[in-house]
Amino acid sequence: MYTVKWEPKARKQLNRIGDRKQKARILDAVNMLENFPEVSNVKALTNHQHQYRLRVGKWRVLFNAHEQVEIISIEEVKKRDERTY
């Protein structure tokens, strides 16, 4: 069982999300990280400064997991189209 620790930057990013439903979904998903690694929508990252990402709709929660889960950043994924790549 892990404890979840929020970095101040991630807490600010969460507070800036205007949609209350999205905020609640992100909080619920992050609370599930107490059961890490038995959590869905988590992917280990390679060649990245953070170890894992959690997908919650169009939002990504970047975190590291050692003795505890440390929430580093919350980022929105913009819509991709044919000009993205």
Answer yes or no: is pLDDT of 79 > 80: no
In a domain, residue 31? The reply is yes
In a domain, residue 48? The reply is yes
pLDDT for res 81:
67
Q: Tell me the per-residue pLDDT of 30-44, one tens digit each, with 9 for 90 and over.
A: 999 998 888 889 999
d(CA 15, CA 32): 19
State the DSSP H helix or E strand holding residue 36, giving kind and residue range, or none if neither. Answer: none
The mean pLDDT of the chain is 89
In a domain, residue 35? The reply is yes
d(CA 61, CA 73): 6
In a domain, residue 42? The reply is yes
What's the whole-model pTM score?
A: 0.85
Q: Tell me the per-residue pLDDT of 48-64, one tens digit each, with 9 for 90 and over.
A: 889 999 999 989 999 99
d(CA 41, CA 33): 11
SS3 of residue 58 by DSSP: coil
Full residue range of the structural domain in which residue 37 is found: 4-76
What's the domain count of the chain?
1
CATH number, domain containing residue 14:
3.30.2310.20
In a domain, residue 10? The reply is yes
**All residues at 6 or more sequence positions from 28 whose CB lies less than 8 Å from its CB, including other chains:** none
In a domain, residue 82? The reply is no
Q: What angle (nearest 5°) sits at the alpha carbon of residue 55, between those of residues 54 and 57?
A: 150
In a domain, residue 67? The reply is yes
